[in-house]
Amino acid sequence: MKEHPPFQLANNTITDPHILAVITRLDSTRTFPAQGSREAMITDPAAFAEHGFSIHPAQGELIYLLCRAMRATRVVDFATSIGMSALYFAAAMKETGGQVIGAELVPEKAEVARRNLAEAGLADYADIRSGDARHTLKDLGGPVDFVLIDGWPGNSGHSLAYEVLQVVAPQLRVGGYVLNDNAEPDFISYIRNPANSFISVSLPIKGSTELAVKVF
Ligand SMILES: C[S@@+](CC[C@H](N)C(=O)[O-])C[C@H]1O[C@@H](n2cnc3c(N)ncnc32)[C@H](O)[C@@H]1O
């Protein structure tokens, strides 16, 4: 996993000191598992409960800015892990009066995420669902404005990113965004095929970050 410049408070997106304190703590305490652990990641995500694998600040700020720009009120965080991406989403939801729906398979991680959101004063703006996202995200309660697909190695023919996209894309409104970390090949070929109702760009953030918008 690539290192990135330390988190800086140079931008003017999130200014609440409680939220920034939690983001800064999570960013400065990242841990990375040993190389070659992909097999174990597929078979036992719980073995990685100590590792956040969190999005980088530039991705978080982009999420925050776009959610504010579109006045998003129902957004999805797959997956939540210990809550870094959920913090950026929930910070935006605090301003728009909305809610982030998070999905996390490992219960200990979901609990840590809830604690981090509470410490940031954002508990009221987040619904973190424990369990397999392919089930917990089936009913999002209405049209969704923004989805993060920050996945995990899958154990079937398709990546988890692709499979979760199939669950959430029908619930995304036209004009809604999908942001993807990890660039899973089957996900990328699906989202870049205009017949699938998306147009998409690859942004040079953390290697490559795919940003797509649903156009019909
Ligand atoms: C890359 S991390 C997410 C990081 C998070 N977005 C952040 O910024 O902190 C991927 C997470 O997916 C979780 N996961 C793996 N399989 C899952 C599944 N089927 N449903 C929900 N979460 C899953 C893992 O436990 C891991 O915490």
Q: Which residue has the tokens 């918008």?
A: 213
Query: Using an 8 Å Cβ cutoff, are 19 and 121 in contact?
Result: yes
Calculate how far, in angstroms, residue 103's C-alpha sits from the geometric centre of ligand 1: 8
Q: Decide if pLDDT at 10 tops 80.
A: no
Cβ 209 under 6 angstroms from ligand 1: no
Instruction: Indicate the SS3 state at residue 153.
Output: coil
Model confidence band, residue 5 (pLDDT cutoffs 50, 70, 90): low
Please report the atom of ligand 1 found closest to the CA of residue 181: 1
Query: Using an 8 Å Cβ cutoff, are 143 and 53 in contact?
Result: no
Calculate how far, in angstroms, residue 102's C-alpha sits from the geometric centre of ligand 1: 10
Calculate how far, in angstroms, residue 45's C-alpha sits from the geometric centre of ligand 1: 8
State the average pLDDT over residues 73-79. 98
Please report the atom of ligand 1 found closest to the CA of residue 48: 25
Six-digit token pair at 18? Answer: 């409680």
Span 109-155, pLDDT tens digits: 999 999 999 999 999 999 999 999 999 999 999 999 999 999 888 77
User: Which has the higher per-residue pLDDT, 8 or 50?
Assistant: 50
Domain boundaries, the chain: 13-214
Pick the CATH number of 13-214 from 3.40.50.150, 3.30.420.40, 3.30.413.10, 3.40.980.10: 3.40.50.150
Span 77-104, pLDDT tens digits: 999 999 999 999 999 999 999 999 999 9
pLDDT given for residue 103 in this prediction: 98
Cβ 54 under 6 angstroms from ligand 1: yes
| Residue nearest atom 12 in ligand 1 by C-alpha distance | 79
Cβ 132 under 6 angstroms from ligand 1: yes
Backbone dihedral region of 56: left (phi > 0), alpha (psi from -120 to 50 degrees) or beta? beta
